[in-house]
Amino acid sequence: MNDLPSRQRRTLLTSFMAAAAMPAWAQDNKVVRFVVPYPPGGPTDLMARILAPAMQQRMGMTVVVENRSGAGGNIGTDVVAKSAPDGMTILLASPGPLSVNPSLFKSMPYDPQRDLAPVLQISKFPLVLEVNPQVPVKDVQEFMAYVKANPSKLSFASAGNGTPQHLVGMMFNVAAGVSMQHVPYKGAGPALVDLMGNQIPVMFDILGSSLGHIRAGKLRPLALTTTVRSAVLPDVPTLDETVLRGFDFYGWHGISVAGKTPPAIVGRLNAMFNDIFADPAIRKQWEGLGTPIVGGTPEAFGELVRFDAVRLGKLVRDAGVTLE
């Protein structure tokens, strides 16, 4: 906590004090809905499956992970946005539904700034440029040459429109001066199945969801999208250090609830999740996903959502991509 700015430390301390002063969570055996706006098997779902047992232990209630996928994460996110503001319906949030989709979709069923309340950021992660091993390239330099030699013939998979996997592919096309075609899937899980089956050759995926397949030799990693290497794949270089100087793209996850949730409940949830992440067993599982734990305050997460609405919104608008 000492690494946080003083204002954030004071807010976080207030959250912990509020949590300590409140009675037990249990409310007539109510069920907590932990909404994942993507299908099972992807990185967002994996994080929810790690967190749910720890939440259940601390809240004294059953926590059910509920996958509500579709519309680039809008369907599941809208479920939370329109839920009762009592902290009993919780969203595992990501950049698409909170920061990107307002610029990507012509109409939105909710307003991320008004209808959702930030609780805390829980991850910041690189994506990995990876190919099926049958693609005839061994490193990112060979990949760049291969793509340029086959203009418009290669496609890259994503977890859906507006997801980090989609956005970083768009960013790569612009930076590299190439035109790989985007193929959106209904989540990272189905996309990875086709990638490993060589139904599609290329994907930029969240490192955590591809790490096991990379270690098993089912996928070939070529480069990371951030400016620093990952401790879990130290031999894989970055795009920045190899072929695209200055390339830096990261994704994140966070926790949100309905927009009118009282600050006391938001603070209590914030304290609970920060306590979960202080558990060494949880930290070990989390870091195995290829992302450090972030934690922090609701205010810091809210600032990130607003910042990325500008950063990623501009990327979408510059690419001229819109969806109904």
Fold match, 6-124+250-319 / 125-242 = yes
Q: What is the pLDDT of residues 183-222, one digit of tens each?
A: 999 888 899 999 999 999 999 998 888 999 999 999 999 9
Q: What is the pLDDT of residues 5-20, one digit of tens each?
A: 555 555 555 444 544 4
Query: Is 90 exceeded by the pLDDT of residue 47?
Result: yes
Residue appearing with tokens 């950049």: 95
Q: Which residues contact residue 163 at a Cβ distance below 8 angstroms, ignoring those fewer than 6 apart? A: 72, 73, 94, 95, 96, 188
- 6-124+250-319: which CATH topology? D-Maltodextrin-Binding Protein; domain 2 (3.40.190)
Query: Is 50 exceeded by the pLDDT of residue 23?
Result: no
Q: What is the pLDDT of residues 87-129, one digit of tens each?
A: 999 999 999 999 999 998 999 999 999 999 999 999 988 999 9
pLDDT given at position 2: 47
45's torsion region: left (phi>0), alpha (psi -120 to 50) or beta? alpha
Please report which confidence band the pLDDT of residue 237 belongs to, taking 50, 70 and 90 as the band edges. Answer: very high
Please report which confidence band the pLDDT of residue 163 belongs to, taking 50, 70 and 90 as the band edges. Answer: confident
pTM of the entire predicted model? 0.82
Instruction: Choose among 278, 315, 317, 316: nearest CA to 296.
Output: 278
∠ CA 214-218-219, nearest 5°, is: 55
Query: 300 or 25: whose pLDDT is higher?
Result: 300
Q: Which residues contact residue 303 at a Cβ distance below 8 angstroms, ignoring those fewer than 6 apart? A: none
- Averaged pLDDT of the chain: 89
CATH architecture of 125-242: 3-Layer(aba) Sandwich (3.40)
Query: Is 80 exceeded by the pLDDT of residue 27?
Result: no
Domain boundary assignment for the chain? 6-124+250-319, 125-242
Residue appearing with tokens 């760049």: 144
